[in-house]
């Protein structure tokens, strides 16, 4: 596997991801670029099926790096995720030493805790040198793991090293590219978030989802792709147990194409929804509801409920940079229940100075009761410099910088 050079700009990264079939929004591309340049882990939260895991796979393929994946689950421990000793081989070595008359206990202890008896699991493998460059480490669905394992990750994510009592400290010569995902079935501790760059991956707009469907399902008709996307977008506005993600949209579009569907009509809706009704739902309660209701509503009025120009932005948790004529401001959701509205009200008009704006906004957040430490302010300024903000301030893009994860 030949390693490729790191992208030199956000635009270059966007082009790289697009060439591999991943149509990312600029906010996601920006925070990913900053993660690569700053050497910081990237923590992605969002609903299931919105492309969090896929970006790690795409980065691995595009950069020519080895992908090491740790799939988290309840009960995951150090022996499964980091390392364990080959106790059977150690026991054989002890018996052989006893049979040969070697009674040097200290030497024997040193021998049986050597590298050759160490079974390396994904996290330890990610710290090893690689001729192709540092690997991409995907820690997938961290919210499924226990809090004790989450605490164990702190040393790895901050210093990129693992301490093994019998062996010593293993430190990566070059930090791996770390991507952590979470479906937010539980809250991840702030101590871990502080070590990462954070981004909330939302459902895509109708236009972007349509482009994704056309890219991933080449044989689909133009009319069917539009109807599928609009119908799924409308489903997300309903009160379902689990809203369909992009993965479900692609699967449903593929299923309908395999069934030779060219478009959805009232009669065809019953036919095709009956055959492939469980694909967008993924849950028994939802599948039963929307297959019955959707068949009745699957006409031109139903599939245009969600106009292609209107995208529902749910649970956006990122502060975003907003260009202004005289400078810039950091924008946050007004009704998120965390005091952001109060913080915005404390802001004074921007002066055009990057440092003054960032520090002023941090102080406003503190006044609103949101803890923001100096580490977060420094990270924000470093990120702004990396994406070349600070000269012509009209060139700002949504950077997705989250100041809440403060040390």
Planar angle of CA 171, 174, 176, nearest 5 degrees: 90
Q: What are the domain boundaries of the chain?
A: 10-74+129-201, 84-116, 206-303, 320-395
The predicted model scores a pTM of 0.73
Per-residue pLDDT of 214-255, as tens digits, reads 999 988 999 999 999 998 898 888 877 788 899 989 998 998
Q: How far apart are CA 305 and CA 350, in angstroms?
A: 40
Confidence of residue 280 (pLDDT cuts 50, 70, 90): low
In this predicted model, which residue has the larger pLDDT, 337 or 131?
Answer: 131
Dig out the tokens for 80 from the structure: 């499964």
Question: What is the predicted pLDDT for the residue at 110?
Answer: 78
Average pLDDT in the chain:
78
Tell me how far apart the alpha carbons of residues 195 and 40 are, in angstroms, rounded to a whole number. Answer: 7
How far is the C-alpha of 18 from the C-alpha of 33, rounded, in Å? 14
Give the model's pLDDT for residue 303.
Answer: 42
Q: Which of 79-88, 97-106, 298-307 has the lowest mean pLDDT?
A: 298-307
Kindly give the pairing relationship between strand 136-140 and strand 177-182. parallel
Higher-pLDDT residue of 351, 135: 135
DSSP string, 2-41: PPPPPPSSHHHHHHHHHHTT----HHHHHHHHHHHHHT--
Confidence at residue 307, expressed as pLDDT on a 0 to 100 scale: 35
Question: Going by CATH, does the domain composed of 10-74+129-201 fall within 3.90.10.10?
Answer: no
Angle between helices 222-235 and 246-258 (to 10 degrees): 140
């Amino acid at each position: 596997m030949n390693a490729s050079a790191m992208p030199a700009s956000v635009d270059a990264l966007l082009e790289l991801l697009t060439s591999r079939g991943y149509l990312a929004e600029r906010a996601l591309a920006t925070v990913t670029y900053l993660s690569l340049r700053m050497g910081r882990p990237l923590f992605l939260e969002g609903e299931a099926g919105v492309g969090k895991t896929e970006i790690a796979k795409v980065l691995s393929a595009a950069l020519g790096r080895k992908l090491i994946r740790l799939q988290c689950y309840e009960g995951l421990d150090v022996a499964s995720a980091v390392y364990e000793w080959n106790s059977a081989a150690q026991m054989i070595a002890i018996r052989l030493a006893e049979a040969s008359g070697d009674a040097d206990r200290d030497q024997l202890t040193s021998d049986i805790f050597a590298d050759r008896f160490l079974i390396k699991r994904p996290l330890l493998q990610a710290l090893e040198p690689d001729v192709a460059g540092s690997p991409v480490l995907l820690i997938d669905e961290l919210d499924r793991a226990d809090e004790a394992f989450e605490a164990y990750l702190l040393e790895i994510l901050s210093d990129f090293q693992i301490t093994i009592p019998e062996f010593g400290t293993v430190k990566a010569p070059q930090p791996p590219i770390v991507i952590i995902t979470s479906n937010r079935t539980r809250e991840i501790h702030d101590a871990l978030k502080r070590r990462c760059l954070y981004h909330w991956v939302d459902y895509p707009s109708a236009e972007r989802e349509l482009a994704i469907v056309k890219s991933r399902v080449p044989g689909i008709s133009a009319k069917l792709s539009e109807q599928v996307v609009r119908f799924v977008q409308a489903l997300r506005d309903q009160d379902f147990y689990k809203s369909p993600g992009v993965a479900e949209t692609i699967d449903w579009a593929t299923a309908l194409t395999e069934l030779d569907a060219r478009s959805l009509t009232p009669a065809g809706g019953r036919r095709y929804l009956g055959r492939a009704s469980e694909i967008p739902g993924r849950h028994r309660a939802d599948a039963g509801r929307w297959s019955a209701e959707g068949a009745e509503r699957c006409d031109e009025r139903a599939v245009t409920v969600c106009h292609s120009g209107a995208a529902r932005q749910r649970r956006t948790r990122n502060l975003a940079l907003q260009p202004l004529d005289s400078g810039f401001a950091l924008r946050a959701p007004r009704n998120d229940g965390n005091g952001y509205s109060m913080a915005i009200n404390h802001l004074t008009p921007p002066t055009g100075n990057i440092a003054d704006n960032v520090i002023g906004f941090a102080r406003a957040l503190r006044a609103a009761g949101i803890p923001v430490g100096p580490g977060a302010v420094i990270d924000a300024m470093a990120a702004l410099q990396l994406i070349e903000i600070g000269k012509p301030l009209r060139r700002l893009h949504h950077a997705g910088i989250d100041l809440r994860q403060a040390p």
